[in-house]
Structure 1
Amino acid sequence: MDSYNSIVKDLRKDAYSVKGRLQSIIYDNRFVSTFDNYALVANERCGLWYVQPHQIHASVYFKSTDGHTGQWRFSLRRLNFNLLPILGRNGTVVLVDSTRKGKLMPDALLKTAPIWCAVLNYILFEDQSDDLEVPEVFKNLQKDNWLATPREMVSESEHHAIAQKIPEFAREVTKLQLITKNEITKRLGKKMPIVPQWQYPGKEAVEERSDCFSLCCLTASAREVKPRDWPYSFPYIQGAADDHELWATKEIAQGKLDHEVFWERIYYEPEDDVRIVDMATGDIYPWLSEEEMILRINKIYDDDSEEGQLMVETKPLGDTGLFLGKIADNIPLNLLKGSIPELAEIILLSPNYTIEIPEPISSKTESSIIDGKSEECKEVLNHDRQQILVKTFKIESSKKGAKELRGVLSDIIAHYNPQKKVLVLCESGTDLSAGICLCFLSRWFTLDWKSSEMPLHVNKDIIKQHLSKIQDFHNVNPSRNTLQSVNSCLMGGRILQSASGDSMYRKLHLFHGYHLSLICRTASLHFQIFNTSLFIMVRFLCLPGYLQSGKVFAEKSSGLRKILTKKLNYELDYIDPPTIINTKEELPFQLAADEAEANEKWNLIVENNLNRCWWVHTEDGEYKGFKEAVEYMVRLIEEKGPYDGIIGFSQGAAMSAVITNVIGKLAPNHGYFKTAVLFSSFAFTLPVDSEETMLEINAEIKNLDEYSKKVHLVPNYKDYFAPPLEFPTTVASIFGAEDAVVPPVRSEYLMSLYPERSVVKFQHDGGHYLPNKKVFLNPIVETIKNAVELKASL
């Protein structure tokens, strides 16, 4: 810890000190303030620092990565439609952001915001290329798909490439019904295009127009190393606020220094002995050292916290009975109860804060562990006999917390009652709490937010549409990891647990067309679901080959993976092989003739976690680790299943065939797969003639009939390759005509062991690899889809 503190102190002594950053932000805010006669909108996150709270009309989130070269897109998660009525009321809006040293303007302002304008204009004026409603001055802009960019900063070729994508972006928005041309017109107040312009220090005149809505993209920071009127000895920092978590560290204001704390609590502090800003100049005292400034900031922050200010904001989501909010301190229960009448449940996600329950109120507390996260559930009875459930999960508002959310979402959803008022709190108020509300709405509410008596079918489009509607009410921005947790929970078919750990739902292995009569009982909950069509995500196990990890297999199967996950919403679970190869001498081949080169390659294999396999074939003909691998797979399937199918490559395909054959017997509660997809698969064989070797037979014989006469299954493993008499699985076998590692005849021999009606074969022209071209994969995908969905509806 001492070394960490010393490093932090040393870093602060350099040019990028906290004092230098805060003073640079103050300096840049003066430039932004010259646009005060316009509606100022801050672009999250950096832009929020440059607009004081009393100046800001709203915030939006145009992300620079959505405008990076070759990665242009219209974000369906960050819709920013709250900007439309502000444009409608004001005509001109100034969008404030900044960027770090070396750039004049961030891509968020150069390209992401212009893409947004172009897509909405394209929707607004679609099918009206000859319409007189489009003024003559905008005809050329319309021909360019409404894309406007500053040509001095965006090249002609890049501009043209982006413009070509605008129709595609617009179609995606309209297909999901996120907004229509009539809704755009209604929110703007009149039908006029939204046209961007760009401002930066040194170019300060905003062009006001009456024939369109103007989005003025303003970068707050100067690009100069030292602006002419910068009076300090320490350097000016362009884009000083960027990535504030990296410089506003945990020893400053308890790690809570952000734009709100700085402008609302630090900048205007009135007490002489602690304030850091000279009220006469509006600048940080020049004589104030870095260490003294931080001590004062901490004193101001700590004193404010001790005063017990109400640090919670709650926002309703229409008439759904759902409320989401931000918590920044311990909150008395009575305060929340008073602000939301008939509140029935509070869900709190925070490792730092609690809901304070007064002693006179009786309560019953239960604690449990769900997926490694502690949960506390308090059932509180008020003096007015109103019962409130307070549920606390110690999950922080961060990337890590968003991933941890996945482990508790199922439990949270299991207890939700759409007829009751529920408040969800997290430390950001825009991420985790928004994700939980999104789950509730997607599962229990129609798209017009009418509650349903039964859980509804959910897919990614429905989730996007509900998120869009939430953003119409409040400026939330659930992170990518939070949305992945939401998708996994709503479409992943997990077991739902009660607070006491009892099974609430059995694992539901049901698909389209199934109807269920299910009674769920726990210690605190009794309910029934009758005749409910449940749509549970199709799930596949994916087994990599020799010297591969699950990650590598996912990369090499990218073509198939993308179709199954993005087009069909299937879940693919990529598994690392359990058998570890400890030395390069265990390999059946040399990595290189040169020992040093071989060692280098082996070290690379180990570093990348690729020294794995399903078994090691020894010189005496044994398959070392095979039975342990089978046991490992059976345990995994029992714990994480059910799975509808299995996909394997090479050695992983052979193991997939084995698991396909035996899983119904070894894990009877799971049953057999609906399909197995085997790339370059094979069985364990020996020559009939002991004078011959498998190496020779595999290399020389191409004909299946001849091959079948020459080989037989290894006796000790014969049962593993024998499918049951009533075999319900469709087996897709894919092999390469030029595969020298697993010759096609080996795959064909394995297929000959299955009933002919169960096998579908696909041969490509290549070697030992996974084909990724759609034209080849489409019939394979159709086979998979038919096997999964038709059998589910029988």
Structure 2
Amino acid sequence: MSPDELTPGSQNVQEEIRKEKLSTYNRLHSIHEDSQFVSRVAKIYRGLPVIGSREFAYFKSTDGHFGRWDFNLRRSNLHLIPVIEQYCGILLVDSTRRGKRYPDALSKTVPIWCAVINTAMKTRYNLDNWDSSLYTTPKAVSRSEHSQIEAKIPEWAASLNASSFSLSRISKPIRPLWISPDSQLSMINLTDLGFFPVVCLSASKLVEDVAGVERRLGYTYVQGSGDDHELWSGGLNPSVFWEHASELLASDPASIHDLVRSLLQPAVPDREVPKPPVGLTPIMAVKSQIYIGRYQGATPPSLPPPCTSMIYIDVASGPNSPSHPELDSSITQPILHLTLPPGKRGQTIFLHDILPLSIAFAQRRLRKTEDPSALAIVCSNGTDISVGVGIAIMQVLFDEQGNLSEVPLSPTFVTKPSLRTRLQWIQSSQSDANPSRATLKRVNEFFMSNSFVAGRPHDGPISAMREA
């Protein structure tokens, strides 16, 4: 039935369903129901670490979409291999909205990953009797699609082996298994298997109703309730929900919004003392002379040990931001504090000011006489802007072996593969490093621009930032 054919009665039904799907009360109860199922499965697979596919791991559904299958080196997830070896497998958790039993991330992206890793291992280490087959579930992948994906595995494995990533050897092949709320659960002796299982656990029950909802006693179950949280959560985040879960689940639909607002009410802050960044990760490929980290605070962070200097890029939320310091006045200080406004203006400033200022600062600080010297690069999330700055600094100041160069790298040695290698250096140490397309594009533009070829990043002093 088209929208033009809807009767007033059916329009009312559609509106009621929409309200049920976006109800905070229904969503939180649905999430709790899903979490109870995950807990039951985790007890059966006792000993396997439970990993959210959007947190510690990054398996993207679009890499499994039909005709767009991909093994993306930017999402290599190689940090999972030692974990799988140590615990004899992992349990990956994700969910999907109506119409599917498994999200594409679990039904296709993870199987692609397993097959590529196994094939790359087999080639790199000359392994006999090593299963490198592609395994998919017929409940989600047809024979034709399976064959089309299978044909691409050798190419992706060769790309992985040709990259700068180190591939830790594993004692057994890895293989996906699938579990959903419709599965028959039974105990499995993991040590008897000839492979390490990557258990793909779809937390949400498949709802047959076309609207993706199923009425329960006391609430309406919504499949994939965690999705689109900005539409229904009222600002509630996972940590606040689980901290106050019993209180939230005991409330009624009429009062739950007031309760959420009260839980999110900020406490009266004390005067904030500068704290060091968190999640500070040494980049091993450059012998831990570069660290990447994140920081969110009202005051700039303090210098984190063991770093001897720091670049802090403050991603501003408002349209106005202070001017950048002159490099000559900042070089004697161990911390360079730069402000990046949002939007298009911020992209221009990142290209023309943040990158050259950061490179010049790093060049002088890392060449100081104290030994050892290490530079922290910090932004609000530690995965985007700081990674882009890290790529640029490592491209200019470190050679292909990861050694600090006596002389800045000549512009003629900068290529897209060399920049990609620097990104892989970072991702090998920091698995969640995932700079945006815009950040990577600006880094590429910077090195291909006349300003870099002319030597601007090394010529300080560098003027305050330009207006976009």
Q: TM-score category by the smaller chain?
A: 0.7 to 0.9
Larger radius of gyration: 1
Q: Are 1:21 and 2:4 matched, yes or no?
A: no
Q: Return the alpha-carbon distance in structure 1 between the equivalents of residues 197 and 348 of structure 2.
A: 39
Contact 2:214 2:222 in 1 (8 A): no
1:486 maps to which residue?
443
Counterpart pick for 2:222 among 237, 255, 278: 237
1:210 maps to: 193
Indicate whether 1:72 and 2:61 are aligned. no
Decide whether the 8 Å contact of 2:92 with 2:199 is kept in 1.
yes
Displacement after TM superposition at 1:226 (Å): 5.4
CA drift at 1:284: 4.6
User: Could you say what secondary structure the match of 1:348 adopts?
Assistant: strand
Q: 1:399 offset after TM fit, Å? A: 9.8
Which position in structure 1 is the counterpart of 2:296? 328
1:400-419 equivalent positions in 2, closer than 5 A = 405-407=350-352, 408-417=354-363, 418-419=366-367
Distance between the aligned counterparts of 1:473 and 1:304, measured in 2? 38
Q: Tell me the equivalent position of 1:95.
A: 92
SS of 1:315's partner is: strand
**Distance change >3 Å, CA 423–CA 295, structure 1 → 2:** same
Q: Secondary structure at the match of 2:123?
A: coil
Question: Is 1:315 aligned to 2:281, yes or no?
Answer: yes
Aligned to 1:303: 267
Distance 1:132 1:76, change over 3 A: closer
Query: Residue deviations 1:486-525, cap 9 Å, x none?
Result: 22223x12426xxxxxxxx7479xxxxxxxxx9935379x
Paired residue for 2:12?
none
Residue 133 of structure 1 is matched in structure 2 by 129
Partner residue of 2:394 out of 441, 446, 450: 441
Q: Which one-letter code corresponds to 1:219 in the other structure? A: S
The answer to whether 1:495 aligns with 2:459 is no
Q: What fraction of aligned residue pairs are identical, expressed as a percent?
A: 29
Q: 1:308 to 1:240 in 2, by over 3 A?
A: farther
What secondary structure is seen at the aligned counterpart in 2 of 1:430?
A: coil
CA distance in 1, matches of 2:250, 2:93: 23
Mapping of 1:725-744 within 5 angstroms? Answer: none
1:184 aligns with 2:130: no
Distance 2:419 2:186 in 1: 42
Separation in 1 of the partners of 2:153 and 2:120? Answer: 10
Matched with 2:115 is: 118
Q: 1:461 aligns with which of 417, 430, 434?
A: 417
Matched AA of 1:522: P
Give the partner amino acid of 1:211: G
Contact persistence 1:317–1:473 (CA under 8 A)? yes
- Please give the secondary structure, in 2, of the residue aligned with 1:415: helix
Give the match for residue 389 of structure 1.
Answer: 335
**C-alpha separation in 1, matches of 2:300 and 2:24:** 35
Match of 1:268 among 233, 243, 262: 243
1:660-671 matches, cutoff 5 A: none
- Contact kept, 8 Å, 2:291 with 2:375, in 1: the verdict is yes
Structure-1 separation of matches of 2:17 and 2:419: 44
Give the aligned partner of residue 591 of structure 1: none
Which residue number corresponds to residue 53 of structure 2?
43
Equivalent residue of 1:100, what SS?
Answer: coil
Contact (CA 8 Å) 1:111, 1:149: kept in 2 or not? yes
1:241 maps to a residue whose letter is G
For 2:268 and 2:180, the matched residues in 1 are separated by 36
CA distance in 2, matches of 1:11, 1:485: 44
1:175 aligns with 2:162: yes
Q: Is contact 2:180-2:201 (8 Å) kept?
A: yes
Q: What is the RMSD of the two structures over their aligned residues, measured on CA atoms?
A: 3.7
CA deviations 1:194-228 (Å, max 9, x no partner) are 11111111214475353111111111111125568
Residue 46 (structure 2) pairs with residue 63 (structure 1): no
Letter in 2 for 1:97: D
Deviation at 1:17, TM superposition (A): 2.4
Q: Which residue of 1 aligns with 2:153?
A: 166
Query: Residue in 2 aligned with 1:198?
Result: 178
Partner of 2:142: 155
Q: Secondary structure at the match of 1:125?
A: helix
Contact in 2 for aligned 1:311/1:331 (Cα 8 Å):
no
Q: Distance in 2 between matches of 1:132 and 1:463?
A: 35
Structure 1 residues 601-612: aligned runs within 5 Å: none
Q: Distance in 2 between matches of 1:523 and 1:195?
A: 53
Distance in 2 of aligned mates of 1:14 and 1:153: 28
Q: For residues 34 and 307 of structure 1, what CA distance do their matches in structure 2 show?
A: 44
Q: Take 2:17 and 2:290, find their aligned partners in 1: how far apart are those partners?
A: 45
Runs of 5+ consecutive residues of structure 2 not aligned to the other structure: 1-15, 368-372, 464-468
- 1:351 to 2:334 alignment: no
* Structure 1 position 306, deviation (Å): 5.6
- Paired residues, number: 421
Whole-Å Cα distance in 2 between the matches of residues 173 and 291 of structure 1?
Answer: 48
Which position in structure 1 is the counterpart of 2:252? 286
AA at the equivalent of 1:214: P
CA pair 66-389 structure 1, distance change in 2 beyond 3 A: same
Q: 1:425 to 1:523 in 2, by over 3 A?
A: closer
Counterpart of 1:222? 205
Conservation of the 8 A alpha-carbon contact between 1:374 and 1:394: no
Larger strand proportion of the pair: 1
Note the C-alpha offset of 1:152. 2.1
For the 8 Å contact 2:50–2:91, the answer to whether it is kept is yes
| TM-score when normalising by structure 2 | 0.78
CA contact 2:124–2:161 (8 Å) conserved in 1: no
Residue 308 and residue 25 in structure 1: after superposition, are their counterparts in 2 closer, same or farther (change >3 A)?
A: farther
Partner Cα distance (2:394, 2:77) in 1: 20
Distance 1:481 1:305, change over 3 A: farther
Q: Following the alignment from structure 1 to structure 2, what is the Cα–Cα distance between the partners of residues 215 and 167?
A: 21
* Partner Cα separation in structure 2 for residue 506 and residue 151 of structure 1: 57
Q: 2:213 touches 2:223 (CA, 8 Å); kept in 1?
A: no
Q: Is contact 2:117–2:157 with CA below 8 Å preserved after alignment?
A: yes
Shift of 1:123: 1.4
Query: Residue by residue, what CA displacement relative to the aligned partner does 1:731-786 show, whole Å, maximum 9, x if unpaired?
Result: xxxxxxxxxxxxxxxxxxxxxxxxxxxxxxxxxxxxxxxxxxxxxxxxxxxxxxxx
Q: Contact 2:206–2:223 (CA<8 Å) still a contact in 1? A: yes
* AA matched with 2:29: Q
* 3-state secondary structure, aligned to 1:85: helix
Distance 1:195 1:88 in 2: 13
SS of corresponding position for 2:141: coil
Change (3 A) 1:15 1:86: same
Separation (CA, whole Å) in 1 of partners of 2:53 and 2:128: 35
From the superposition, tell whether residues 25 and 170 of structure 1 become closer, same or farther in structure 2 (CA, over 3 Å).
Answer: same
Q: Distance in 2 between matches of 1:92 and 1:216?
A: 8
1:377 aligns with 2:363: no
SS at match of 1:376: coil
